[in-house]
Amino acid sequence: LRKITIQFEPEGRKVVTDPGQKILDIAEESGIGIRSECGGNATCGKCRVVIQDQSRVSELTDPEKKLLSESEISAGYRLACCTTATGDLVVEIPEESRIRVRRIQITGMERPVKLEPLVKKLHMILPTPTLHDIRPDVERLLDALESEYGVAGLELSRRLLSDLPDVLREKKWDVTSVIWNDEKLVAVEPGDTTDTLYGFAVDIGTSKLVGYLVNLQTGETVEIVSVENPQTSHGEDVMTRISYTVEGEKNLLRLQKLVIGAINSLMRQACASAGISTKNIYELTIVGNTAMHHFFLGIQPKYLSYTPYVPAVKRPLNVRASDLNLSVGPEVNVYVLPCVAGFVGADAVGDVIASGICESEERSLLIDVGTNTEVFVGNSEDILSCSCASGPAFEGAHIKYGMKAVTGAIEKIKIDPGSLEVSYKTIDNEPPVGICGSGILDGIAELFRAGVINNRGRFNNIDSPRLIKQNGKKEFVIAWGDETVTGKNITITQGDIGEIQLSKGAIHTGIAITMKRRGYTNKDLDRVYIAGAFGYHIDPLSAKIIGMLPDIPTEKIKFVGNTAVTGAKMCLISKETREKAYELSKKIRYLELAVDPDFQKEFVNSMYIPYKQIEEYPSVMELLSPETKNK
Amino acid sequence: LRKITIQFEPEGRKVVTDPGQKILDIAEESGIGIRSECGGNATCGKCRVVIQDQSRVSELTDPEKKLLSESEISAGYRLACCTTATGDLVVEIPEESRIRVRRIQITGMERPVKLEPLVKKLHMILPTPTLHDIRPDVERLLDALESEYGVAGLELSRRLLSDLPDVLREKKWDVTSVIWNDEKLVAVEPGDTTDTLYGFAVDIGTSKLVGYLVNLQTGETVEIVSVENPQTSHGEDVMTRISYTVEGEKNLLRLQKLVIGAINSLMRQACASAGISTKNIYELTIVGNTAMHHFFLGIQPKYLSYTPYVPAVKRPLNVRASDLNLSVGPEVNVYVLPCVAGFVGADAVGDVIASGICESEERSLLIDVGTNTEVFVGNSEDILSCSCASGPAFEGAHIKYGMKAVTGAIEKIKIDPGSLEVSYKTIDNEPPVGICGSGILDGIAELFRAGVINNRGRFNNIDSPRLIKQNGKKEFVIAWGDETVTGKNITITQGDIGEIQLSKGAIHTGIAITMKRRGYTNKDLDRVYIAGAFGYHIDPLSAKIIGMLPDIPTEKIKFVGNTAVTGAKMCLISKETREKAYELSKKIRYLELAVDPDFQKEFVNSMYIPYKQIEEYPSVMELLSPETKNK
């Protein structure tokens, strides 16, 4: 078969491939991001591309006729998931089809740990073989390691053996050995290379990957890099991606290849900035939620989506870099942090480690808000965890004008209780395009505080020009059409409020039940840690007003940022922390909310704003106007 | 690039490949054996093929013009190493260019050992996960293995993990675990498969591979298979192959691929005969000389050919089958027996184990005759070893009418001391083509016994029609032209005798020095073991008469056959034997003959027939006629 060349514009990137493949697949194999919320199922219509020469692609399909307008079709628009390339081609990816770069919290709280990385370098000059000393290369090296450094019983791989004879002789028996955990030879390098010893910690987020390049001799983070998770083209959320793996035998491998490609590119980027080679990375540590963990390792993830949602494995894993095609030395160890349960993954273990709730006597609540929100309650004695199905509303999904936290998203909202006038702030102070999670959370809190909505989330009968009707349903205008990019009003609808009630209700239920089972009341809590990218941007008061968080003093709330990656970094530089992570994964108890007898009742109560029993929220009560209280 | 199709005749085998490659390389990549003694260097002229359509191959080269006759060229003869295919092609491989199938000793002495294979199978029915028992798959499996069988702390690979969720559920949590050495999960299989547990032991000989398929539950060898070593196309002997790896960067990988392909084909063949799948092979053990060992493992072998001849490694190695592309389960362990030194390889360790000299108080001499002859002297207390550069004369090389032990080779010779009439026997009783190693050894012993040659190996002035002159040099006719296939006399020349003197002299020197350093005289020896394919066919009396062996009673000599492979088999079924092998490799002392002060003198004496001091060979003295003694 002849190969064909696809040129992607505006980058001008050329890809040589076999004919007969879908444009979406070709783009993705080459790391070119095209949106595809439905995971290539021809239902979302987001993967629009422009192809001028339609003679070299497959014919228009029914889904395209449905999802594209006639004028678009005549302008050459196609859906990349429906279009097969048959010859050389130029494909234009319009702005709207690109995976947009989001604002994300890449740094996080980090606690000091004893610097004790698992890899170390030992330099030696070996005696040269003679007819009177015919010890083989391996035995010569291992003998010297034992006699000079007391390191014995090292394992050594066939792969390392293969060019060891040349390596040892390259600088006349002057060599540096890289040893992992005093048990395995990771590399042997000619000469003295002991001054270069790095590691790389990665958080594989569902939407973004963050990498820390760390100097293992000082424990210092020398570079922080991040990249969109390219798996996003197969679905924005975990469940869509799991479904994608079920649809085709090779799809899991594709997801794995995508994430590994992203990590390789992160490493290249970080090493280039630091002026070192990726060969100087001698260990990696990885966190991610359980699905990301399974995708990364190429483990069948299907059963994560069926009750009782068991993962394939929870214990920490040590995998060879070459088994994963990571572009570092073949024997480099990849340490994957342990998980707790199907929905409490290695990223959450990172949160626990970095926040330190496991080592303090302080009674703590730790939450990492996302599509699934992980909740931990406890202290050094005992920690109880659960996972709440908080859904994607905070990511802007199912919200009429919802959007991700990108440029132009309304992220802060204030409503004057008297005039009901609205003030807002957008990301990068650009004209508003929509509302992101922290904005919608602010908006609902302010609507409630101003008495525009009641504790069941329904609009009160208020007289305001901002309370308008669309198709017979009430909406509250946050930004008027003349202020927005699209020229249309940006509003919060009754439906939006309902979505947020479901989300915050799920989180509150999880927190309430976990605290109850741990035997804590709100007053007992010494500290609340809010981890994760989303959490970092929310207003704690708004979160309390809507009842997402329990009513505890704001000064006890601490935003800790991306503690998943800092937890991974702590494991990278500290053997002791790694041992703690394993202990934690076994020790943290997991509470299955679905089988808790109080679940239903608690969930119903938690749907109210802030809560059915308002007396549980005394500080919120104080904030409310007398009118609001009576409504 | 378009692919092209090469059809090899007379098999009719079609190979689809890229154009621009040499015919020899294409054949070899496909496992089609074409002779190439020079390793593809266009010097030996052995890789002759016939190509009718010369328009689809590269032009005739200078070496071809030199090595092929004009009539051959006009008949379409080409050298496969000089000819590049540019289009679809039919290539005929004439009989003379085929790698011939040789007689080889594939069985050997085997001692009973305690049956304790390292792999075992454990069957279990696991509890099904519920919302009240959400243990992950791995932890569920490992918990059960620990509680039901007391096996704890098992290692488990990422590769095994990847489809473990499906495997566990395939027969509803009814599974069999395959465990290696109580430390590693090798496989997990649906249902109860405990009745099928096999292993495979392989001897990688320089010219032939032998494989034993072994039932690990009974210790029984169920199939014995063998195949030519396909590396032969890159050189008959070890040194040519090592040179080949130095010539091109990918050549070592090629040799590795060839031997692994051969082992895969042996396994397929053995399993097909036994009616099982290669997936039922759960461990392999491998022996071979140090060069074969390095080629198999893909280890740089270059330094084996430079003084002081150190191997890359001597210790036993455990390698994953998937790292070697062996077509068994990816996590199957491949145990490679240890070596002793650069020229005393894992095959020799197999000899020691199978012969049992390491466990007996009997003072033994063990030799494995080949291009390098390994010598072991000692008993359970202490064993001393050396390697003798005996050269390829016993393989028929550098002998005027020498040939390998194939059909038509003269393998036995008797000469009447009175009439000097010759009787001989050929392999398969076909008309003679040449003389193989055991024949030439017989011939020289008989010439000496009959007084035709003296103790310096020179022809005496004998009056016999069989003692003829060619180009002024004496030769003794073994078979007259009218008896032979070629119509020409088959003779033993002065040069041939010299070659054998060098070979046997080297062996005798090694034996004599090693015995001396071990403190043994001929009388001390309780037993002589002769191992290896060649040794199996020699006449012990002839070997004594020419002085290859010391003068000890014939009844003390035992031919043990292919003990390399039986040693590997013993390691396959016995953990204890494997531990002994490791101990042996550390304990056996290696004597470097080149630095022994007696080497030169001993070698000079050993060149005589049987020895300079004939009184060292009383039994040979008795055999000689008075005339011979006086000559």
Checking if the pLDDT of B459 tops 80, the result is yes
My answer on whether omega of the bond before A308 falls inside 30° of 0, hence cis, is yes
Which amino acid is present at A625?
Answer: S
Q: Are the CB atoms for A218 and A569 separated by under 8 Å? A: no
How close is the nearest chain B Cα to the Cα of A319, in Å? 7
Radius of gyration of chain A (CA): 27
Alpha-carbon gap, residue A613 to A416, rounded angstroms: 26
Question: pLDDT category, A233, cuts 50, 70, 90?
Answer: confident
Q: What pLDDT, on the 0 to 100 scale, is given for residue B99?
A: 64
The residue count for chain A: 631
Facing residue for B131 by CB, picked from A130, A135, A307: A307
B494-544 pLDDT tens trace: 999 999 999 999 999 999 999 999 999 999 999 999 998 777 789 999 999
B74-93 pLDDT tens trace: 989 999 999 999 999 999 98
Lateral strand order in the sheet of A490-493: A467-470, A473-479, A490-493
Which amino acid is present at B336?
Answer: V
Q: What pLDDT, on the 0 to 100 scale, is given for residue A408?
A: 84
Checking if the pLDDT of A418 tops 70, the result is yes
| Residue B567: both structure tokens together | 């040693």
Q: What pLDDT, on the 0 to 100 scale, is given for residue B485?
A: 79
Alpha-carbon gap, residue B263 to B292, rounded angstroms: 13
Chain A residues in contact with B184 by the CB 8 A cut-off are none
Question: pLDDT category, A443, cuts 50, 70, 90?
Answer: very high
A108-133 pLDDT tens trace: 889 999 999 999 999 999 999 999 99
Of A82-86, B280-284, B404-408, the least confident = B404-408
Checking if the pLDDT of B107 tops 60, the result is yes
CA-wise closest residue to A594 among A387, A392, A390, A393:
A387
Alpha-carbon gap, residue A393 to A507, rounded angstroms: 12
How close is the nearest chain A Cα to the Cα of B132, in Å? 8
Strand partners, B334: B284, B319
Output the average pLDDT for chain A: 92
Chain B residues in contact with A594 by the CB 8 A cut-off are 131
Chain A residues in contact with B311 by the CB 8 A cut-off are 136-137
Facing residue for A136 by CB, picked from B157, B312, B324: B312
Residue partners of B250: CB distance under 8 A and separation at least 6: none
For A277, A360, B178, B287, B578, the CA distances from B316, given in Å and listed in that order, are 34, 49, 22, 10, 9
Facing residue for B590 by CB, picked from A134, A137, A297: A134
Q: Are the CB atoms for B418 and B412 separated by under 8 Å? A: no
Q: Are the CB atoms for B198 and B276 separated by under 8 Å? A: yes
Checking if the pLDDT of A20 tops 80, the result is yes
Q: What pLDDT, on the 0 to 100 scale, is given for residue A14?
A: 81
Q: Does the CA dihedral B508-B510-B516-B522 come out positive or negative?
A: negative
How close is the nearest chain A Cα to the Cα of B385, in Å? 14
Chain A residue closest to B163 (CA)? A300
Whether A139 sits inside 8 A of B314 (CB atoms) is: yes
CA-wise closest residue to A178 among A318, A329, A284, A337:
A329
| Residue B597: both structure tokens together | 């002060």
**Looking at residues B193-200, what average pLDDT do you find?**
97
pTM, rounded to two decimals: 0.83
Question: pLDDT category, B184, cuts 50, 70, 90?
Answer: very high
Checking if the pLDDT of B572 tops 90, the result is yes
Question: pLDDT category, A567, cuts 50, 70, 90?
Answer: very high
CA-wise closest residue to B577 among B242, B228, B118:
B118
Whether B299 sits inside 8 A of A162 (CB atoms) is: yes
- Which of A128, A299, A587, A588 would you mutate first to test chain B, the one with the most B CBs within 10 A? A299
**Looking at residues A526-553, what average pLDDT do you find?**
92
How close is the nearest chain A Cα to the Cα of B235, in Å? 22
Which H or E element spans position B378? strand B373-378
For A352, A354, A511, A588, A589, the CA distances from A360, given in Å and listed in that order, are 11, 12, 20, 15, 17
- Reduce the DSSP state of residue A133 to 3 states and report it: strand
To the nearest 10 degrees (0 to 180), the angle between helices B575-587 and B346-355 is 120
**Looking at residues A151-172, what average pLDDT do you find?**
95
For A158, A186, B80, B153, the CA distances from A280, given in Å and listed in that order, are 21, 11, 45, 32
My answer on whether omega of the bond before A10 falls inside 30° of 0, hence cis, is yes
Q: What pLDDT, on the 0 to 100 scale, is given for residue A96?
A: 72
How close is the nearest chain A Cα to the Cα of B99, in Å? 29
Q: Are the CB atoms for A202 and A347 separated by under 8 Å? A: no
Strand partners, A388: A373
Checking if the pLDDT of B31 tops 70, the result is no
- Which of B300, B349, B592, B596 would you mutate first to test chain A, the one with the most A CBs within 10 A? B300
A476-511 pLDDT tens trace: 999 999 998 778 899 999 999 999 999 999 999 999
For A365, A607, A611, the CA distances from A620, given in Å and listed in that order, are 20, 16, 10
Which amino acid is present at B587?
Answer: K
| Residue B270: both structure tokens together | 């053995």
B35-75 pLDDT tens trace: 877 778 888 888 899 998 899 999 999 999 999 988 889 98
Chain B residues in contact with A242 by the CB 8 A cut-off are none
**Looking at residues A62-87, what average pLDDT do you find?**
92
Q: Are the CB atoms for B205 and B288 separated by under 8 Å? A: yes
Chain B residues in contact with A330 by the CB 8 A cut-off are none
CA-wise closest residue to A491 among A459, A514, A513, A523:
A459
Q: What is the DSSP letter of B385?
A: E
Percentage of residues in chain B having pLDDT higher than 70: 97
How many Cα atoms are found within 13 Å in the side-chain-facing hemisphere of B469?
A: 6
Chain A residues in contact with B308 by the CB 8 A cut-off are 129-131, 133-134
Checking if the pLDDT of B104 tops 70, the result is no
Q: CB-based burial of residue A523 (10 Å sphere; 0-12 exposed, 13-18 middle, 19+ buried)? A: exposed
Checking if the pLDDT of B278 tops 70, the result is yes
Chain A residue closest to B324 (CA)? A158
Alpha-carbon gap, residue A605 to A285, rounded angstroms: 41
Whether A131 sits inside 8 A of B307 (CB atoms) is: yes
Lateral strand order in the sheet of B473-479: B467-470, B473-479, B490-493
Of A260-269, A444-453, B88-97, the least confident = B88-97
Q: What pLDDT, on the 0 to 100 scale, is given for residue A428?
A: 80
CA-wise closest residue to A189 among A258, A254, A253, A119:
A119
| Residue A499: both structure tokens together | 């979505």
Chain A residue closest to B249 (CA)? A163
Chain A residues in contact with B309 by the CB 8 A cut-off are 134
Chain A residues in contact with B136 by the CB 8 A cut-off are 310-314, 339, 342
CA-wise closest residue to B315 among B578, B577, B566:
B578
The residue count for chain B: 631
B349-408 pLDDT tens trace: 999 999 999 999 999 999 999 888 999 999 999 999 999 999 888 888 889 998 888 778
Whether B342 sits inside 8 A of A314 (CB atoms) is: no
Chain B residues in contact with A131 by the CB 8 A cut-off are 307-308, 592, 594-595
CA-wise closest residue to B607 among B501, B458, B495:
B501
Chain B residues in contact with A136 by the CB 8 A cut-off are 310-314, 339, 341-342
Whether A136 sits inside 8 A of B313 (CB atoms) is: yes
Identify the residue whose tokens are 């279990």: B124
Facing residue for A161 by CB, picked from B297, B341, B342: B297
Q: What pLDDT, on the 0 to 100 scale, is given for residue B624?
A: 84
Q: What pLDDT, on the 0 to 100 scale, is given for residue A630?
A: 54
Whether B129 sits inside 8 A of A310 (CB atoms) is: yes
Of A211-215, B143-147, B408-412, B576-580, the least confident = B408-412
Alpha-carbon gap, residue B28 to B91, rounded angstroms: 13
Q: Are the CB atoms for A201 and A183 separated by under 8 Å? A: no
**Looking at residues A169-187, what average pLDDT do you find?**
97
Number of cross-chain residue pairs from A and B with Cβ atoms under 8 Å apart? 139
- Reduce the DSSP state of residue A8 to 3 states and report it: strand
Checking if the pLDDT of B316 tops 80, the result is yes
A35-63 pLDDT tens trace: 877 778 888 888 899 998 899 999 999 99
Checking if the pLDDT of B285 tops 60, the result is yes
